[in-house]
Amino acid sequence: MPNVKELASTLAAAHESGRAVVLPTVWDVWSARTAVDAGFEGITTGSHPIADASGSSDGENMDFADHLAVVKRITGAVDVPVSADVESGYGLAPAELIERVLEAGAVGANIEDVVRSEGGRVRDRNEHADYIAAARQAADAAGVEFVINGRTDALKFGPEVFADPLAEAVERAKLMEQAGARAVYPVGLSSADDVTRLVEAVSVPVNLTVHPVNGHAAGDLAALTALGARRFTFGPQWQMWLAEVSAEKLSRWVAGS
């Protein structure tokens, strides 16, 4: 059983260090061990790649117990901190969510503002901040320096939902930090200016989704770090890249090709 308090402290310290933290997004024991063997200090799980690897689909369509079973196998197979993607919380109260994630051995979590179990509605700013604050309180009560990565999809929804999506993402990021998030994850940042605006709005690390080979629209790791971004994850990009490369190489073995 992982020492969650020790691993959580290690992950929290990395977030507070001021340096870049790259946490590859994995989906099973094999990918987790591959990332750790490559030298990474921690890893994340992704709801999208776990669902794809399990024959399900993203958006809280897996049974949460099945999802956490995958997370538990991963945490039991590696000796680095693991942060779990729990989407919007699978309809659970924050205290129960944190309890179950800790039982699975994870010491951090992405918590997003799109409630998949309720038709994909978007929590308003304060509702999402309150959910994160309650999760923070539950983790603190357990004596764990749990790393909440507060996610907002405001930019993904665009002007059809928010008059100024970037401004909305900024305000949500500020509230999530105040609520106790140790990192914020505004999905959809696509330019250096966007990254800079978010970085300047908060004091905790801003998480960017990057491609393991192609980086990000705003640049490679060095460029993104120079902009002030300090947390990097792959989302489904690593798994998708492996699928593309594998399909290309394996097709040479298809009869008649």
Give the tens place of pLDDT for each residue, 156-208. 999 988 999 999 999 999 999 999 999 999 999 999 999 999 999 999 999 99
Which residue is listed with tokens 């729990």? 86
Residue-level pLDDT at 255:
77
Q: What is the 3-state secondary structure (H, E, C) of the chain?
A: CCCHHHHHHHHHHHHHCCCCEEECEECCHHHHHHHHHCCCCCEEECHHHHHHHHCCCCCCCCCHHHHHHHHHHHHHHCCCCEEEECCCCCCCCHHHHHHHHHHCCCCEEEECCEEHHHCCEECCHHHHHHHHHHHHHHHHHCCCCCEEEEEECHHHHHHHCCCCHHHHHHHHHHHHHHHCCCEEEECCCCCHHHHHHHHHHCCCCEEEECECCCEECCECHHHHHHCCCCEEECCCHHHHHHHHHHHHHHHHHCCCC
What is the rounded CA–CA span in Å between residue 173 and residue 187? Answer: 11
Arithmetic mean of pLDDT, 138-164:
96
Q: What is the mean pLDDT of the chain?
A: 96
Q: How far apart are CA 227 and CA 202, in angstroms?
A: 13
Question: 216 near 207, Cβ under 8 Å?
Answer: no
- Asked if the model's pLDDT at residue 236 lies above 80, the reply is yes
Longest dimension (CA), the chain: 62
What is the per-residue pLDDT across 52-95, written as a single tens digit (0 to 9) for each? 999 998 888 899 999 999 999 999 999 999 999 999 999 999 99
pLDDT at residue 44, as a whole number: 98
Q: How far apart are CA 55 and CA 198, in angstroms?
A: 35
The model's confidence at residue 117, banded by pLDDT at 50, 70 and 90, is confident
Q: What is the pLDDT of residue 59?
A: 85
Q: What is the mean pLDDT of residues 240-247?
A: 97
Taking the C-alpha atoms of residue 42 and residue 23, their distance in angstroms, rounded to an integer, is 5
Can you list the domains of the chain with their CATH numbers?
Answer: 4-253 (3.20.20.60)
Note the pLDDT of residue 95: 98
* pLDDT, tens digit, 9 for 90 and up, residues 5-23: 999 999 999 999 999 999 9
pLDDT of residue 116: 87
pLDDT at 257: 61
Q: How many CB atoms lie within 10 A of CB 20?
A: 15
Write down the pLDDT at residue 184.
98
pLDDT (average), residues 126-153: 98
Conformational region of residue 180, where left means phi above 0, alpha means psi within -120 to 50, and beta covers everything else: left
